[in-house]
Amino acid sequence: VTAPAWADLEALFHEALARDSAERAAWLAERCAGRPDLRAQLEAMLRAHDGAAASPSSHQSALR
């Protein structure tokens, strides 16, 4: 398994963040069609990002 190119990760991650969480899953599925590894990676990153943003103190430090 080769890791996705950084440029793909970066672009898709930020595009995904710009979307409502409601439409995000479907959007990711479409953009990552045929690339399940990339999709799983992005989903894990978005979960981690949302989890970190959900706690106030780390949110603060994240914006440092």
Partner 1 sequence: LLLAWTNGDRDALEDLIPVVYGELRRIAVRYFRHERPDQTLQATALVHEAYFKLIGQDHARWQNRAQFFGVAAQLMRRILVDHARERAADKRGGGVRPVTLVDAIAASPARGIDVIALDEALARLTALYPEQGRLVELRYFGGLTIEETGEVLGISPATVKRQWAVARAWLLANLAREAAS
Tell me which residues touch partner 1 (CB under 8 A): 3, 6, 9-10, 13-14, 17, 41, 44-49, 51-52, 55, 57-58, 61-62, 64
Smallest separation, CB 43 to partner 1 (Å): 9
When the beta carbons of 26 and 40 are compared against partner 1, the nearer one is 40
Report the Cα–Cα distance between both ends of the chain, in Å, rounded: 35
Smallest separation, CB 62 to partner 1 (Å): 7
Give the integer Cα–Cα distance in Å for 17 and 43.
11
Element (H, E) at 42: helix 36-54
Smallest separation, CB 36 to partner 1 (Å): 16
Angle, helix 21-31 to helix 6-17, in steps of 10 degrees: 150
